[in-house]
Structure formats: structure tokens, C-alpha cells
Structure 1
């Protein structure tokens, strides 16, 4: 008997057995038909259709005949499904439908459920559309599966629509339906809406069960809203429900995500206190959390604890531990964990190996990463696209482009399809190396594979061409990107702006900037700085200032690059204006020179600055106070104190006036140099010329002399403060006292104190300042100084202090 005849006989036999209600025997026959068929589902389908048409097994009772024959088709659908042949099951259903045989709702719901469990969503929708074409009625199970499918792909809107639709059609949702919707909402982050739905359930008489609460606890935990998650747990108790390990583990995971490991361990203790046993999932949540915080000692303690309790760690447990040690770059511990896995007959997964490769690549150990990859293959672990991509990216970062390209080819030969991320890694690396033609070839290959380039693909090419100076190519890819509906990001736009500005094409750069705003992309500090720099560099002073104003109005804070751009831009513009005005017989004045000198000083171009100042003096253009201050500041920044003092001399000879602030800067700089002779020389000049020294500058001098042990110098400063009226008003002096009390050293101050007290012309001060003045003087006393010194102050008619228990207590 030929195969087709044998299959025909089996078909007839299956129909006869179903007609006789011998369904279990019919199921065995159907199973043999599936096993013996080499032509797939179509061969069996054709045989059954032929048998149904040729034979009447119910003596003309058409309804009975159709029902019995339908069972055979359902048994075949079920047979394919049990063997995991979901494509054949769906195709058989659709083929039978075309021939007038439609499976029952029970059979359809069973296949919908199994397709969801197997995550065969494409087949699910194909099958469901066939159900719609066949007008198969829906029940609560059908709608529940449909809602689940929508939420699986993150389509919360459609999932909710189906929920309302089923109610409108008179089909009441069950508790399971509500749980599916609540779970779906939590997965897409809509926890508040999920909670509202739970309240609606309560109103309709569907009281939340343990599963409902566990979903909500997990949802709140994933959003780091553990206080609300804990309230859900408490509500469970109030309703007489006993949380299981699922609810507790969800709460532990939430606290770990929130960064509160102490609270997570508190939940663990509560579990044990309530008699809920910890299982593998609970320990994995705890270990994952502590590894994330870098507490590997605690992670090891938990691992040992679970093993002692007879709970065997799984691959996920070791993955968590390995990831923790990789963060610490502790490869020796990673090796030990891998060895331990081998002892327990746990084979590292592609994820395990990919994680190790990624960790090694991240720390620049590309050779070790390559060895792990080879070991992974030798263990029979099939690398996935992520593992290949990680290794490719590692080689690219090390500049090993040939090796990266070789791995890409190996990946292709092994039947692992490179994804967009993989191609992007290669293209980005080649663009950084300015190998633009090769990068372009991989873009073409990527598109030929049906992969769609994204903003990072185009961004790499645009950035590469900008750096190479080929702005025409950069613009072409930018237009191509926009034509594909891909919105640019700030990095892409900034690269184009910098490139065009470098080429002097400020109009194109400004156009890109406006396009960026039109696309809803918000420029950052770098973008604004690049365009401002380009405009200034190309002489667009007015446009640059307008853009700077817009930049500041947005509340953005300029960085060092922004300031440098503005400073260098103004210097360049100033130089050009300086030359142009002289060509027009307009002679620069003091203000002109001072502005350009200030620009040079800010830009650090001091050799040019000093030459310009010499030119100014040679042309008999008199510096003003600002000019002198700028020049003194420049010499101090150069560390040339001799020239600084000479500059002060020149300034004073010309009748210049130095502000208190400049004197302070001068004194502070000289003090840092730790040359007291130069400090004294500067002080003599200040006194001689009747210049004003600020109280803060005086205190700087006092501290410097005190530190050097030159008490005479310190006393002289205090004396000068009174003699030359440098003492401020009472409010300012009080602030100065508070500041000095925190900063002044008090070693060896006995003689210093007497010298100050005797030499300072106390009587010259007004009554309102005397007490504060002496408080400033006395703050330099050592706390354990004997009372004789204090008594000497009293003998001179000066106010005294009480010294109690080592503390200096101000009087008054």
C-alpha cells in the first residue's frame, strides 16, 4: 500500500472513531498521521477533506456528521500544538476554515492561550484574524487572551479598549481579566491607573486576590514607590489575605531598586517571622540588590546562607554575583564563580558570557574578552548578537578595526544576523578613524539586509565627514536622515554647526541651528558655544551677541568653552577693529587700548599684551586706573613680582591711583611668595604714597608676619591701620573679627601682644570702635597665656578679657 493510500485509510479510521465517540483512540490515530506525514499539514488536510467528501458516516444526519468531522480537525490542531508545531496548527486551522470546517470556540481559546505562552504573537494575530473571518463568537476567555496580547506588545490603549468593548457586548470581565489588565498597566508604568482599576473591581464585587496585590506591589516597586507598595501589603493583611513569597519578593526587589537595602532585609525578616519560606527567587532578588550596591561580602553571605538551607543557586544567582565582581574588576573571583558553576553542572548562558565580555571590554581587557568568547564557543554556548556586538565594540574602541570586521563576517557565517547596534559599532569606529569610504560601505550593507539606520548611524557619518572637512557629504547624509523621518539629536546638529563654522559658512550653521529648533531638539551649552564661537570667528559680532543673549535668557550656564570662545572672539574682533581704525586715521585712545589689553589678559595672551602696553606708553597715551589695574593683574598672574612693584612705581610717578582691591591682590600675591622683604617694600610704598589698604589685606599681612615669627611687622600693620585710617566702620570690623577668629594661629604671641598693645594709638580711635579694635588685637592670645599679660593691658587703661577653662571670652 502506497503512502497516500495509507494516509487516506488513517483519515477514514479517525473519522469513524470520532463518529463512534472513541475520541482517545482517534487521538492516537491522528498522532500517527502527524508522525508519518512528510508533506506537512497540507497533505493530511487534503486527505481528511477527501475522506469527508467521499463518505457519509451518519446516514444523512448532516448536523451530527459535521460535528463529528469537526472533532477530527480539532484533534489534529491539538496534536500539532502538543508537539510545538504552532505554524502547522495555525495553517491547518486556516486551511480547514477555507474548506468549511471551523474549530469550536473551546479549541480556538486553547490555541490562543498556547500561542501567548509560547510568545508567538505574530502567529497569534494571524490565527485571531482567521477566527474573525470565520465569525467565531468570543467569550470571556477569548477577550482575556486578546487583552493579554495587546499588553504583551505594550499597547495599553488597545488593551483597555477591548476591556470596555467586551462589557459593551454583554460579556462581563472575570477576576482573571482584571488581573491581566492590571498586570499590563503595571508593565507599561501606568501603576496609578492600575490601582484605580483595582478599586473599580472592588465596587463591582471582584475582590482582589493575592495575585492582584502581588502585581501592584511589583508595579510600585519597579517605579521606586515602595511606601505605596508596602501599603498594598498591609491592605492584604487587613482583608485576610496572606502574602506569599511572590508578594514579598516583589517588595524586596522594589526596596533594592530604590536603594534601601536595610528595608529590603527588614522585609526578609518579616517573611521569616510570618512563616513564609524564602525561595530561590527571593535570594536572587537580595543578591542582585547587594551586588548592585557593591557589597560583595554580603552577597557571598547570602549565597552561603541559601546553600545551607538547601536552596540550590541557579544561573541567575551566579550572573548577579559575576556582574558584581566585574564592577570591582575582580576577575579572579569571576573565575572562581565560573568554576563553582561547573561543579554544580550549571552551564553559563549567552547572557553570562556576554556580561563577562562586556565587563572586560569596558575595562580595556580586550584580549581577555576574546579568550572568554572562545571558551564560550568551546563550551557549546552559542553566542548571540549581543555577545558579538559587545566584542566588536571592544575591538573598535581599541582601534582594532580589522579584527572588528573579521568578527562581523564570522558572525554572519555562523548564521547570527547582525543587528543595527552591531553595524553602528563598526560604522562609528570607522568614522572615528576617518575611514569614511569603508563606513559608507557598511551603511549600504546594513540597508541591503533590511536594517534601518537610526540617528546614531547617521550621526557617526555626519560627525566623521564634518571632522574630515567634507561638509557637502555631511549635509547630504543629514538631508537623507531627515528624509527617512529620523529626528536629529543635539549631538548631530552640534557637529554640523561646528563643521560649517570651521569652513566659514555661518549662514549654513545658523540654518542648521534653526532647523534643530524646528525639530523640537533643544540646544545645549555645547551647541550654543559652537555657534557663538563660529560667528565671532567669522566676524559676526552682532549675531553672536544676540545668540549669547538668547542663550542666557534660557537659563543656561556658560562653560569654559563658551567663555574662551567669547574671549578669543572679542580679541580677534578687537585686533581687526584696532587695525581698521588706524587705517582710517582714527587714533586709538586710552579706552581703546584698555579694552584690547583686557581681552588679551582674559585670553592669556600676555606677551602681546605687554608689547601693546609698551606701544601705548611710547605713544604718550596715559593709562588710567583701569589700565594700571589690568596690567598689575597680568604681571601678578605671570608671577613676576619685581615687574609688578616697578609697575606700581611707574603708576605712582605718573600720578595713577590704585584701588584697595588691587593693593589687596598685590599684598596677597607677595605673601604667597613668602618674601617678607618684598612685602615690607610694598607696604612702605603704600604708606608713602598714602594709598588705602583694605582691612582684609591688613589681616593677610598680619597672618603672614605672624607665621614668619616677625611680630614687629604684624604690630606695624595694626599701627598703620589706625594711623592711616584703614580701620573700617564698626559693622565691617565686626565681620572681620568673626572671620579672623576662625583662621588665626595663636602660637608664641606674648611679645607680639604687648608690642601691638603698646604701639597702637588706641586713643586715636572713636569710642564706637575701641572695643572691637582691641578684640581684633587680643584674638591672637594663646588660650593658656597667663593673666600677667592681660593685666598689662589693664595697666595701660585698655579693656581686658576673661580667660576661663582655656577659652578666650570677649568682654562687653
Structure 2
């Protein structure tokens, strides 16, 4: 046996020392006489225990001071748990209960061992049968502390109840209450449920109390089991049962059943009272059914039931949460008229409601009214005020309230500090937030998981990822377990920094710590991978998400669709779009915009328009961005009429075109050379208050530059600077290109120097434009200086070489031109067909057909496809030396390789064969394939064709391709 603990002895002394007598019920001296059956043998090693029990009986019955008599005997040494149990079984009904408890306490301390479980049960049943529920509760508390097995305690009590005549179930009520008071609700439920089919049934009061505690502890599975037991055992119900049941159904969001139970109250002979009405009204208010709640309040009044403080509190709280604070204020006035004094709960609800609606003045006015009526604001009131001012960005006011609450004696809690920290981060004041975080710890308010979540999220937003990770480690070191909400901003933060691998490591660290990622974590990861172009990895985690039983939502699919659309993988994007529709998910504006943009970029306008129509049909209204994407797509493929139709529709819907929409239309008008319309649209844009951006000006500068209108170029360049827009690399490139084309190299180089002075590094295109300008002006030395500068910076490109090759060819320096071609190969810059064509044409013009043919063969060896001008130049060269066989073979080869002859090609062929009188061959040319731009009908006079200026035409064509 275990040693008898001293604390047990002390508790038992308290039990019968008078502190529980006031709760004992009947007078302790008016004990009922109960007969006791001893037909079953006592569990003893012999008759010694029974003999000792009788000896004890004689002493307790005869002696006034039984302690003195027993102390002078050897009973204390001989006493055993078996003897104690035998004594209680034999003679318990003879003695006054206080003496029994005193002896029970003394015996326990003398034996040094626990009394048997049956000894506890005998005494507990005896006390309950005598109406001494207070002492019985204390005894049972000791019993369940000594014997932890609920089933053993139950079996023993049931056995003693059956042995003792006249016993009832009250001992089980007391046992259930004892378990409840100790928070042992599972054990309390086990006691009740074990009585199924038993002759002992717990009282309605006992069951109601247990139901209430189970509901508060959210132990709903046991709640429903106990409720089913009550129905089966026909225990109750009463108004409190119904009230608890209604609350339970609201807790599990089963409003229909809650209302059904309310309807059953009358059927079961229980007239609804204020408590039941209040329970139903409170539940309806919490789930937003304010109309029904209001009707019930009227029904109460019709039945003569007066709404009380709780009724009004529920309605006011519900209205405030539903953003109807003004209506709540009317109810407050009604309360005051009825003489019902609102408490701090009512005022706090209204203050919170007005704060949520942004009406700070009314919230503080209510606070002042509350204080004036003698109601002190509590911590909930202060937190509501602080929450409101923080959301409005009034952080000074938040700190003022914090100091005020401390001054009046309220200690801020974790929520108070959390709100202020979050407010500072919302205002991008990370230092202030961290200071409050430190103050919180200094005040011995321990940060909770939510606190760390706010601080870590804030540091991630400020891109202080190292500090965020440090806080995560600090949190873990404090014994707080991070959750998925903590990890989500860390994952997003690393992706925003472009640190993809570290973002994935953070996510994988969750699995190592056995923290199950939620949908938000997966969405952050998938979105980051999609934006980084890592679609395969994104699909992997998407599959993992579904395997782990986490359902993808609209945001998940939006990320995948956007990623695939951006990559031009529209089959995949369309697949995920179809899948989300199949799952019943409604696509949002982001999804539709991504799909429309993706199809527009592939010039699949019919598909883009189809999705746009689907979007409208599903009730998702396109925003300005979506309209802008479609307008840009239509404009890009030259469908200007349709683009302007969409533009007009956008405005008819009450939307205002943004700078992107205007710039898209201006870009396409400039591209088509319609500068008048582009300028008109620019003026409209400015009149509507839409400020042109750098892209708008670059587009106009490029358009006017290509038209040769350098006066307008200079005007818009100045206008752009006057508006404070910094010229970009594209701006300078456009301006320099325009200056070079107008042979204004001085201005071009001034812009070049300005560009460098502003810290904008010139790219290879700027250098190439300047080199081309120098070549055209004959300043080859300056062109080579720029070339060498490009070489040092690693900016050499095929465009640069093409300009220099053309320049050397025009100067007749074919050797340098060929060296340039060779240098391209040495610098691993793949020469294109333009470079070879320029050089071939240079050799042709010099009559060096061998070298020209050698370069042509080299093109074929290196798989560089010859173009129309390449063939035309060679045909011209061979025609000049009268090699019609070569002319014919090149022409046939050209046709066979699907390289379309142009007007100049036909001119050369006609001229060559006309000189030789080859009229049949001329007619055969008319059967050769012609492009859309060339017509060689039988009625075209040879003289008219021959009159074309072949050389000028060819030179012009060559200039265009260059």
C-alpha cells in the first residue's frame, strides 16, 4: 500500500472542521436511522478485523473523549484498512457524522495507509443519504484524488448504494459535481453515461450543469452524448436545458436546429422565458440574423416578457458588428428610456462599432458619456479605442490612450501591445514598432504567437529578412511554436528579394518542424515560383498541396494561370482555367486579365475576345487594367478600329482610362505613322488629368523621329523634362537616333554625354546608332573610336558590325569590310544574312564575282539563309557579265527555297534576257510566284518595267534592310 499523505489528513480535517457545514443541508445532528445489511463477508484476513471493529465501536459509543481512551490502548498499532472498513460497515448508522469523520481522519493518519476505496464509498453514501452533500463532496474530492480510476470509484459507489437500504442517486450527482469542479469533464461525463440502463439516474440539475460546462469547454462530442443520454433516460428537459441546447446548436453553426429547439419548448410543456429568448436572440445576432433577432424581441414584449440588459447587449453588439452603429445607438436610447442602465459591455460594443466605421468622434463621445454615468472603461474598451485609432494611422493618439489606461489602473495586455505594434508597421514605422515590442517585454507582458506573427510579418514587409529570421528563432527559444501564419510572410519576403532557394528552404523547414502548411503558405510559395518563372516547381508544390488535403483556391489558380500566361504557355493556362471552373471556383479579374494578356501577346485576338466575353457573361466586371490589356492587344495587331471601340466602351461603363490605356493607343498610332491622331489622343489624355509617363513620351518621340519631325521631337523632349520626368535609356536612344538620321551628329553626341552624366549607361543600340551616323557622315575615325569603346565594354553586336561593314564597302575598302566579318566570328557574334549581303553586294559592285560567290557558298555552309537582296545582288552581278546560265540557276534556286523575288529582281531578270532577245524566258517569268506587292500580268509593257531605275531601287532596298 501507499503511504497516507499528510495533505490528505489536513484536507479531511478541513472537511469536518466547520468550513463546509454551512453547505451541509439538514442539521448534522438530525441523522436518519438507516438499517445496514452485513450479509456479505468483510474482506478481512480473519475475524481479527471484525473483533477490532467491535472494540472501536464500544470505545466510540461509551467514551466522551474517545481519542484519550484509544491513545492509551494499542488500537492505533493494530488498526488496518480492513478493520476500518469493517467498523464502517457494521455500525455506521449508530454514530453522529462528525464523530465518524473525526475517527476516519484519525484512523488514516494512524494507519499510514490509504483507507480502502469501499471505506470512502460507505462514508460518502452515508453522508449523501443523510443530506450532508457538502461534507460528501469534500470526501469524494479526497477519494478521486486517492483513486484515479473513474470506473473503480463508480463500481465501489454503486456497490455501496445497493448494500445500503434507502440509498438514492444523490451521491452520483455529488460525484459528477466534484469532477466538474476539478475540471475533469471527461470523468464527469463517464459517470453520467455509465448510468445508462441503471436504476440510479442523475438529476436534471446535475445534467444541466454538466452540459453547460461541456459547452464552455467546447467538448461537443461529449455534450451530444450526455444530451442523448438525458433523452433516453427521460431526464428533463427544463428551460435551462433548452437554453443550453440552443447555445450548442449556434456554436456548431446549426441555426435551423437552434430555432427548432426553441419551437419544441412549448410542445414539451416548457414556456419560453427571458433566458431562452435571450439565448436565441444572442445566437441570431452572432450569425448576422439581426432581423429575426429584432422580431423575437418584439415577440417577447407581446408575451409580457421584458427585454433586459442581456437582450439589449446582444442586439447592440450584433448591430455594431454589422456596421449599423447608428441603429445600435437608437437601442441604447431605448434602454435608457426603459430605465435599464447600460453596462461597460454595451458601451464597449458601441465604441468598437463606431471605431470600425471610422467615426472616431462618436466613439470618444460615447466613452465620455460612459465615464460620466459612473461606468469605468475597462481593458476591452481601451483596446477597441486603440484598435480604431491605429487603423486610422493616429499612432500618437494610440500612445496617449496607452498611457491613460495605465494611469487609471488598467494593465495593458498582449492584445493592447499587438494593436499598437501592428499600427506602427502599417504606417511603415518599423523602429517605432520594435520599440513598443521591447517596451512590452520590459513590462513583463510576454509576447504571444500573434505578437511574433505581427513583428515578423512587419520585418518581412520592410525587407529585413535577417531580423525576421532572428525573431523566429527567438520565438522558438521562448517555447512558442510557430504556425503556418508565421511562415507565410517569410516565404513571400524571400521571393520579393529574388531569393527563391531560401524561400523554398523556409517552406521545407515547416515540414521538418512538423508544421502543416496551410493554403496561404502554399499560395505564397506557388505565387513566388510562378513569378520567378519556375513553373515546373510550382506545379510540383501544387500537386503536393492537393495530396496533403489542402484545397487550392482562386488565388492558387490565379498564380498558376498568370505564370503560364506570362511564359506564353497558354495551353497550360487554359487547362488550369478549365479546372478551376470544374471545381466551382469563380475566376476573378486577375485570372481573366492574365488569360487575355497571354493570348494577346501571342496575337490570338479571337481567343482573347472570347475570354473577355466569358468574363462579362460570368458577372465579373473588367477593370481599367483588363480593358487596357485588350486595347493594347488589338492595337498591336493593327486592329485600331476595334481598339477604339473597346476604348469607348470602357468610358461608357463609367471607367476612366489610365496612362497605360492611353499610351497603348498612342503607341500603335505612332507605329502606323498617324501622328495627328496620336497627338489628338495625347491632348485628350492631358485634359482628363491623366499624366503621361516616360513610356508615353518615348512613344511620341520615336513616332515624330521616324516621321522626320525633329521640331516636334525637341518640343516633347523639353515638355517631358519640364514635367520632371527623367529621360530613360530609351528616351536618349530615340533622340540620338533622330539626330543621327537628320545628320545632326553634334546634337547626338551632346545627348550621348548628357546620358552618361546622368548615370544612364548607353547600350549597344545607342553605340550602333552613333556609329551608323558617323559612317553616314564619313567620320570613320570617330566610328572606330566608338567601336573600340564598345569592345572594351563588351557591348559589340551584329548591328554595329553591319554598319561598319556597310561603311567600308561604300568606301570601297572591301578588305577592311571582310576583316570586320572575320572579327564577328572571333568575338563569337554570329553574322546574319544582312552582314553577308552587304559584303556580297560590295564585291558585286566591284565586279569581283568570285569573291562574292565564295561568300555566298560560305553562307550556305554556315546555314545562314540568303534573303531576296542576296540573290538579287548576285543575279545582278552575273547579268552584268552576261552569265545568263548562272542568272537562271540562281533565280530557280531562289524560287525553290521559297525566297520571294521582288520588283527589282524581276527588273534585273527582264533586262538581262531582253538584251539577249530571250522573249520566251521573259514570258516564263510571268509564271513565277509573285508576292502580294508585285503584279506581272500579261498587259505589263516590258518598256515600262525596263524604265524602272534598277540601281536606285536596289540601293534603296539595301538601305532599308540595313
Separation in 2, partners of 1:536, 1:37:
86
Separation in 2, partners of 1:214, 1:114:
23
Q: CA contact under 8 A between 2:456 and 2:471: conserved in structure 1? A: yes
Q: CA contact under 8 A between 1:294 and 1:324: conserved in structure 2? A: yes
Deviation at 1:433, TM superposition (A): 1.1
In the other structure, the counterpart of 2:364 is 265
Q: CA contact under 8 A between 2:558 and 2:591: conserved in structure 1? A: yes
In the other structure, the counterpart of 2:492 is 393
Q: What pairs with 1:706-745 in structure 2 (closer than 5 Å)?
A: none
* 1:188 to 1:51, Cα distance in 2 relative to 1, 3 A: closer
Instruction: Name whichever of 80-89 and 244-253 sits farther off.
Output: 80-89
Match of 1:201 among 290, 294, 300: 300
- For normalisation by structure 2, the TM-score amounts to 0.54
In the other structure, the counterpart of 1:376 is 475
Separation in 1, partners of 2:334, 2:471:
49
Helix, strand or coil for the counterpart of 2:128? Answer: coil
Separation in 2, partners of 1:597, 1:274:
69
Q: What pairs with 1:26-41 in structure 2 (closer than 5 Å)?
A: none
Where structure 2 has 5 or more consecutive residues not aligned to the other structure, the ranges are: 3-42, 44-80, 82-113, 685-695, 720-962
In the other structure, the counterpart of 1:298 is 397
Q: CA contact under 8 A between 2:430 and 2:458: conserved in structure 1? A: no
Separation in 2, partners of 1:222, 1:313:
24
Deviation at 1:340, TM superposition (A): 3.9
Is 1:220 the counterpart of 2:319? The answer is yes
Helix, strand or coil for the counterpart of 1:21? Answer: helix
Q: What pairs with 1:57-72 in structure 2 (closer than 5 Å)?
A: 57=163, 68=169
In the other structure, the counterpart of 1:348 is 447
Match of 1:21 among 128, 131, 144: 128
Match of 2:242 among 120, 136, 143: 143
In the other structure, the counterpart of 1:424 is 523
Helix, strand or coil for the counterpart of 2:507? Answer: helix
Separation in 2, partners of 1:154, 1:339:
40
Q: CA contact under 8 A between 1:143 and 1:166: conserved in structure 2? A: yes
Q: CA contact under 8 A between 1:19 and 1:57: conserved in structure 2? A: no
Q: CA contact under 8 A between 2:390 and 2:419: conserved in structure 1? A: yes
Larger Rg: 2
Is 1:498 the counterpart of 2:498? The answer is no
* 1:171 to 1:415, Cα distance in 2 relative to 1, 3 A: farther
Separation in 1, partners of 2:434, 2:683:
58
Separation in 1, partners of 2:257, 2:424:
43
Is 1:178 the counterpart of 2:281? The answer is no
Q: What pairs with 1:516-527 in structure 2 (closer than 5 Å)?
A: 516-527=615-626
* 1:110 to 1:51, Cα distance in 2 relative to 1, 3 A: closer
Deviation at 1:136, TM superposition (A): 5.5
In the other structure, the counterpart of 1:278 is 377
Deviation at 1:466, TM superposition (A): 1.6
Where structure 1 has 5 or more consecutive residues not aligned to the other structure, the ranges are: 576-591, 615-629, 641-812
Q: CA contact under 8 A between 1:597 and 1:609: conserved in structure 2? A: no
Question: Could you report, residue by residue, the CA deviation over 1:251-282 in whole angstroms, capped at 9, with x for unpaired residues?
Answer: 33333333333333333333333222333333
Separation in 2, partners of 1:173, 1:99:
32
Separation in 2, partners of 1:361, 1:399:
13
Q: What pairs with 1:626-775 in structure 2 (closer than 5 Å)?
A: 637=716
Q: What pairs with 1:42-57 in structure 2 (closer than 5 Å)?
A: 44=151, 56-57=162-163
Is 1:534 the counterpart of 2:641? The answer is no
Separation in 1, partners of 2:317, 2:611:
45
Q: What pairs with 1:451-470 in structure 2 (closer than 5 Å)?
A: 451-470=550-569
Question: Could you report, residue by residue, the CA deviation over 1:134-169 in whole angstroms, capped at 9, with x for unpaired residues?
Answer: 665533222222322333355545544443443455
In the other structure, the counterpart of 1:620 is none
Deviation at 1:457, TM superposition (A): 1.5
Separation in 2, partners of 1:147, 1:469:
56
Deviation at 1:369, TM superposition (A): 2.3
Separation in 2, partners of 1:168, 1:325:
57
Question: Could you report, residue by residue, the CA deviation over 1:231-265 in whole angstroms, capped at 9, with x for unpaired residues?
Answer: 33332222222223222333333333333333333
* 1:398 to 1:130, Cα distance in 2 relative to 1, 3 A: farther
Deviation at 1:129, TM superposition (A): 5.5
Is 1:407 the counterpart of 2:506? The answer is yes
Deviation at 1:366, TM superposition (A): 2.3
Separation in 2, partners of 1:564, 1:332:
41
Q: What pairs with 1:324-339 in structure 2 (closer than 5 Å)?
A: 324-339=423-438
Separation in 2, partners of 1:297, 1:609:
53
In the other structure, the counterpart of 1:357 is 456
Separation in 2, partners of 1:550, 1:115:
61
Separation in 1, partners of 2:360, 2:682:
56
Instruction: Name whichever of 508-517 and 421-430 sits farther off.
Output: 508-517
* 1:606 to 1:214, Cα distance in 2 relative to 1, 3 A: closer
User: Once superposed, what is the RMSD of the aligned Cα atoms?
Assistant: 4.4
Separation in 2, partners of 1:550, 1:12:
91
In the other structure, the counterpart of 1:799 is none
Deviation at 1:386, TM superposition (A): 2.1
Separation in 2, partners of 1:432, 1:344:
43
Deviation at 1:511, TM superposition (A): 4.0
* 1:540 to 1:290, Cα distance in 2 relative to 1, 3 A: closer
Deviation at 1:491, TM superposition (A): 1.0
* 1:238 to 1:478, Cα distance in 2 relative to 1, 3 A: same
Deviation at 1:548, TM superposition (A): 5.6
Q: CA contact under 8 A between 1:147 and 1:159: conserved in structure 2? A: yes
Deviation at 1:132, TM superposition (A): 5.4
* 1:491 to 1:84, Cα distance in 2 relative to 1, 3 A: farther
Deviation at 1:417, TM superposition (A): 2.8
Separation in 2, partners of 1:535, 1:135:
76
Separation in 2, partners of 1:102, 1:506:
78
Is 1:232 the counterpart of 2:339? The answer is no
In the other structure, the counterpart of 1:478 is 577
In the other structure, the counterpart of 1:440 is 539
Instruction: Name whichever of 513-522 and 360-369 sits farther off.
Output: 513-522
* 1:52 to 1:427, Cα distance in 2 relative to 1, 3 A: same
Deviation at 1:224, TM superposition (A): 4.3
Helix, strand or coil for the counterpart of 1:150? Answer: helix
Deviation at 1:459, TM superposition (A): 1.6
Separation in 1, partners of 2:457, 2:240:
44
Question: Could you report, residue by residue, the CA deviation over 1:166-191 in whole angstroms, capped at 9, with x for unpaired residues?
Answer: 34554332222222333333333444
Question: Could you report, residue by residue, the CA deviation over 1:537-590 in whole angstroms, capped at 9, with x for unpaired residues?
Answer: 456677667656655554443333334444555677x68xxxxxxxxxxxxxxx
Deviation at 1:426, TM superposition (A): 1.6
Separation in 1, partners of 2:713, 2:342:
73
Question: Could you report, residue by residue, the CA deviation over 1:76-102 in whole angstroms, capped at 9, with x for unpaired residues?
Answer: 655554454545655665565488987
Q: CA contact under 8 A between 1:315 and 1:348: conserved in structure 2? A: yes
Separation in 1, partners of 2:292, 2:712:
64
Separation in 1, partners of 2:134, 2:409:
42
Separation in 1, partners of 2:681, 2:403:
67
Match of 2:420 among 316, 321, 327: 321
Match of 1:210 among 309, 313, 320: 309
Separation in 2, partners of 1:538, 1:215:
62
Deviation at 1:425, TM superposition (A): 1.5
Separation in 2, partners of 1:54, 1:308:
60
Separation in 2, partners of 1:115, 1:306:
35
Instruction: Name whichever of 231-240 and 288-297 sits farther off.
Output: 288-297
